[in-house]
Amino acid sequence: QKEVEQNSGPLSVPEGAIASLNCTYSDRGSQSFFWYRQYSGKSPELIMSIYSNGDKEDGRFTAQLNKASQYVSLLIRDSQPSDSATYLCAVRNSGAGSYQLTFGKGTKLSVIP
Amino acid sequence: DVKVTQSSRYLVKRTGEKVFLECVQDMDHENMFWYRQDPGLGLRLIYFSYDVKMKEKGDIPEGYSVSREKKERFSLILESASTNQTSMYLCASTQGTDYGYTFGSGTRLTVV
């Protein structure tokens, strides 16, 4: 059973701070990794994808991947109250069923004004 | 932008009713998925489809079936709705292994 683990939170950070969200996964053969943002009552929205070890930056968001440690993280710089949401980590399954993503249960982020 | 449209935002159905949830995507994606999302349980895969008329069971298929007669449309069917099927239902599609999913806006189903 492929697993993706996230700290459920809530993670509270003050406005303007860096929020750090973490994720570990069990499928050692996974090659594609995604972060989704989900506002309360809404559907998940893709915000970042990463495929290679290292960092990938997009605006205030940075995704970090370490395949050897089976670890993915998302950094949000200059956090804003509008960033308050649940963040889902998703990992593409390797091998059979490789179109499937396995999702973590999400980390709830609260940015305090 | 890829659009995944779910026909209903909110539904209230009675126990024992047959319920149809419709999902349509407009970007010619071959791969489509149905999930349900419940507090504390996260996203759970019900069924998925890689091609027209093709379907595969996910992790929790019991009590559900699906239909994919056309590439753009993937329907979830609750054969006889029960109260434990009250949930948020999310449809998603993707064009390939290097792409994430695009989700529809979701259908919040309440079975009374």
Give residue B99's pLDDT. Answer: 84
Q: CB atoms < 10 A from the CB of B108, how many? A: 15
Q: Tokens for A91?
A: 């990992």
Say if the Cβ atoms of B100 and A99 lie within 8 Å: no
* β-pairing verdict for B10-13 and B107-111: parallel
Give residue A99's pLDDT. Answer: 84
Distance to chain B for A69, nearest Cα, Å: 21
Give residue B27's pLDDT. Answer: 86
* Interval B82-86 mean pLDDT: 98
Give the pLDDT band (50/70/90) at residue B20.
Answer: very high
Q: Give the residue from chain A lying closest to B38, CA to CA.
A: A105
Give the pLDDT band (50/70/90) at residue B2.
Answer: low
- The beta strand positions in chain A, using DSSP E, are 4-6, 11-14, 19-25, 33-38, 45-50, 54-58, 61-66, 71-76, 85-92, 101-103, 107-112
Give the pLDDT band (50/70/90) at residue B97.
Answer: confident
pLDDT digits (tens, 9 = 90+) for B40-64: 899 999 999 998 888 999 999 999 9
Say if the Cβ atoms of A105 and B42 lie within 8 Å: yes
Q: Tokens for B46?
A: 């019900």
Average pLDDT, chain A: 94
The closest CB to that of B106, out of A43, A88, A104, belongs to A43
* Interval B87-108 mean pLDDT: 92
